[in-house]
Amino acid sequence: MQPLERREAILVLDFGSQYSRLITRRVRECQVYSELVPATTTLAQLQQKIHLDIKGIILSGGPASVYDADAPTCDPAILHSGIPVLGICYGMQLLAQQLGGHVVHTSEQREYGPATIEVLADAAQDARISRIFAGITASPEQTIELDQPQNEDVGAGDSVWGTGKPRPSPQRSEAERVSILRPDWWSEADAPPIVDTPLRLPVWMSHGDSVAQLPPGFKVLACTENNPVAAIANPQGMVGLQFHPEVTHTPQGKEIIRNFLFRICGCTPAWTTGSVIEEAIEQIRRRVGQARVICGLSGGVDSAVAALLVHRAVGDQLTCVLVDTGCLRAGEREQVVETFSTHLHIPLVVVDARQRFLARLAGIIDPEQKRKIIGEEFIRIFEETAEQNVVVPLAGTRGGEQGGPIAFLAQGTLYPDVIESTSHDTATTATRIKTHHNVGGLPEEMNLHLVEPLRLLFKDEVREIGLALGMPEEWVWRHPFPGPGLAIRIIGAVDEQRLATLRAADAIVIDEIRRAGIYRELGQAFAVLTPLQSVGVMGDERTYANVVAMRAVTTGDFMTADWARLPPDLLARISHRIVNEVPGVNRVVYDITSKPPATIEWE
């Protein structure tokens, strides 16, 4: 494991792209640690992250134009620091503009959606320039010659909007193939460090501006039919890509990212499940010391994995607390008690706070207010539990000995929670999507200190850790359940009757999805009780009753999601059961909106 204080990292400067989080995720998939930081972050601030060995910087895309007066910029010191930089879309334009090039609006050369790039033969002959495309091969259907844009042999400071044709990409013998610079640890068994031309790759574009003049020392790497500058690079490890390698619509995008990480930045693939667990345990022990910890369980996988990590780190210093808010799913309380007390043997205290939460939520309609109320009540109950010292005695202690004081609260906060809540560690260009009860919903004054071992992890990383720690697979693959529970799946005011209605409808949704054998294929599925009522006919009588919405999505990292194409027969069975088995409901609708533009949860 790498030392805690010097973890290799790639930092992503967020200029507001919808794909910024996805870039971070793609880097981690290559087993290299990555963080998303504000675009305004300076080199001096980066150097204060003494626990990170910053191997490279990625400049994300963004909605602005670099020539706008208020366009966000990168600290020039970063670009002159010698750290390798990859600019994507807006990031490439910014890289070019700030290093002495020129960017223009190109209404006739705008590209949105699929495109094909061709790596130019001249660039491929320079091993220092073409590392970003090393070892990448195209499928046969990707070798059709492009109708290339007009272009001259562009040098530093020249205009790319010339009238000549780019040099053709000749077939070369094996001896003429280009060797690529690579880090010392790179194994000969890895992909051969060569660039074959012609190399034409399908990519995903989204831009209306283009680089019209290269900065000194840069060369054009690739072009498209409409744009003579689709990729640029210099020998010092500065690379610009006009397309988005992080999206699945760029099939070889992950290979391109790997080349930046390993061939250009010299990273080692050390961000693994085992190293994450080992490091998290050490950090928890350093932070907690001999104090006691309580961990709030919500019934979801995040809080459960957080509890397992803390328990692995400090053992019986941990006591889990399940707060029954009255907003749990059907059978949730019993399942949590069974799993933690019987299977995992972790001390558990159950607090029945149903009436307390319902009293605080009475008449509250605004979802942000709901989340803040629930977040505050959770904290107050945890503080009261800590003050009462209601914990199971340490193994081996006598009588009522309770060990040290309860000073810490462990939570299952994830990286997407932090990002969507736009807390202090996210980009200034980002907009708060919603407040998570365990991030922005916490009260300003708290008596307990937080322990959040999952704060820098995505959902799939958390699940891998859960499996490695011995959590039952059925629990690991449970669909996420928000801390505020059913309160934010009821649109409008929350009361016992509406909770009972939603709880029954939600149980039917999950039951039918399990029966259909597709539960694991879905990222999340649940019912929502809308504030709408509609006219219906039941038993030859007119009804005016509630409308229930059903939501089911497929996703990998929960930062983006698509609505699930469920079989019509399954939707019909769910609708039939809900209308017939749940009193007060006469209509069921299905949500067919992706994320973005919608979030997965309705509130």
Pairing mode, strands 292-297 and 318-324: parallel
Is 244 designated active site?
Answer: yes
Rounded Cα–Cα distance for residues 214 and 156 (Å):
5
Rounded Cα–Cα distance for residues 411 and 125 (Å):
53
DSSP 338: I
Is 207 designated active site?
Answer: no
Rounded Cα–Cα distance for residues 221 and 199 (Å):
11
- List 8, 30, 74, 89, catalytic entry: 89
DSSP 164: S
For 86, phi then psi, to 5°, come to -115, 120
E strand map for 15-105: 33-38, 52-59, 85-88, 102-105
Please give the C-alpha separations between residue 429 and each of 15, 17, 58, 585, in angstroms, as whole numbers.
6, 9, 16, 42
- List 8, 29, 111, 246, catalytic entry: 246
- List 29, 30, 74, 244, catalytic entry: 244
Is 74 designated active site?
Answer: no
CB-CB contact of 522 with 477 (8 Å): no
Kindly give the interhelix angle for 496-515 and 568-581, rounded to the nearest 10 degrees: 150
CB-CB contact of 586 with 545 (8 Å): yes
Rounded Cα–Cα distance for residues 200 and 118 (Å):
4
- What ranges in 68-157 are assigned the alpha helix state H? 76-79, 90-98, 121-124
Catalytic positions are 89, 244, 246
